[in-house]
Amino acid sequence: MFVLIGYGVVIFSIFGGFVLAGGHLYALLQPIELLMIFGGAAGAFVVGNDSKTLRATVKTLPTVLQGTQYTKSMYMDLLAMMFEILTKIRKDGMMAIEKDVENPENSVIFGKYPKLIKQHHLIDFICDYLRLMLSGNMDAFQIENLMDNDIETYDAESHVVSHAITRMADGMPAFGIVAAVMGVVHTMESVGSVPPAELGALVAKALVGTFLGILLGYGFVGPLASLLDQKHAEVNKMLQTTKVIMIASLNGYAPTIAVEFGRKVLFSTERPGFLELEDYIKEARTK
């Protein structure tokens, strides 16, 4: 929704200002220029990225129209779920969660949090490290190092699409210049064969290419990469929060304290108060 609102503001501001200044919108309607810019940018995008990146881009782009899922409520669900898991471990031993880890979709604990169970990367992260903890006494330092590498790998992989889109956005002004140069070439070859009054129109059409390249690159395509980076940062924060809680538990802290560690690494916009989280956990455990 906000993407469409932002695009609307861009269109209204740029084209509305042009009209208010006395310009005529039909002068900006240059489909051939758009073909050159989009075609050139798309071709360069295909050349500059492998098949994995291309598939990931096609899969990821539709998500930009979706609002964020990572609200304060979801973070509180994560903290409450981790508290229940760690409490069960502390009370009944590590083997008590074996069935939950092996089949989270049918787990009573995971089933209480439908928003989280849809976050497959997060659930896999939790289950993988609980499975390692099940295998025996694991050194907390080694587990933390492995978690850091795991999160770093996800972070690098998640930025592939946004970096590819950024490069495409950076190249669109250049393709706009190419379109403008082609327009100027057409104008110069028309000298003597068209009336002088028409030469001005041809020059104007050529300049539209530069305008469209810059507008599309910085007003439409570039912001999508920034938005994707923000979405990936939210997933990363979920993983970091989980890591802090599990490492605190491995170091011997009680579930209440371990969850508090996780609460403190949340951004201030999503971080619940201590008593607020305590009440939420109590309510979640009675479900």
Residue 26 lies in a domain: no
Residue 16 lies in a domain: no
Residue 43: pLDDT over 90: yes
- Distance in angstroms (rounded) separating the CA atoms of residues 89 and 196: 85
- Distance in angstroms (rounded) separating the CA atoms of residues 158 and 239: 13
3-state helix, strand, coil in the chain (%, to 5): 85, 0, 15
Q: How many domains does the chain have?
A: 1
Give the CA angle between residues 256, 111, 279 to the nearest 5°: 35
Residue 106 lies in a domain: yes
Chain centroid to CA 81: how far?
A: 24
Higher pLDDT, 282 or 177: 177
Task: Note the pLDDT tens digit of each residue in 257-272.
Answer: 999 999 999 988 889 9
Residue 15 lies in a domain: no
- Distance in angstroms (rounded) separating the CA atoms of residues 281 and 24: 61
Q: From the DSSP assignment, how many helices (H) and strands (E) are in the chain?
A: 13, 0
Residue 2 lies in a domain: no
pLDDT in the model for residue 9? 93
Residue 198: pLDDT over 80: no
Task: Note the pLDDT tens digit of each residue in 54-72.
Answer: 999 998 888 888 877 888 8
Residue 246 lies in a domain: yes
Residue 173: pLDDT over 90: yes
Task: Note the pLDDT tens digit of each residue in 72-87.
Answer: 889 999 999 999 999 9
Mapped onto helix, strand or coil, the DSSP state of residue 107 is: coil
Task: Note the pLDDT tens digit of each residue in 125-143.
Answer: 999 999 888 877 678 888 8
Residue 224 lies in a domain: yes
Residue 150: band (very low, low, confident or very high) from pLDDT cuts 50, 70, 90: very high
Determine the average pLDDT of the residues in 99-105.
88
Residue 5 lies in a domain: no
Strand partners, 175: none
pLDDT in the model for residue 287? 65
Determine the average pLDDT of the residues in 171-190.
86
pLDDT in the model for residue 221? 93
Give this prediction's pTM: 0.83
Q: Which domain holds residue 90?
A: 31-285
Question: How much is the mean pLDDT over the chain?
Answer: 88
- Residue 27 contacts by C-beta under 8 Å, 6 or more apart in sequence? 204, 205, 208
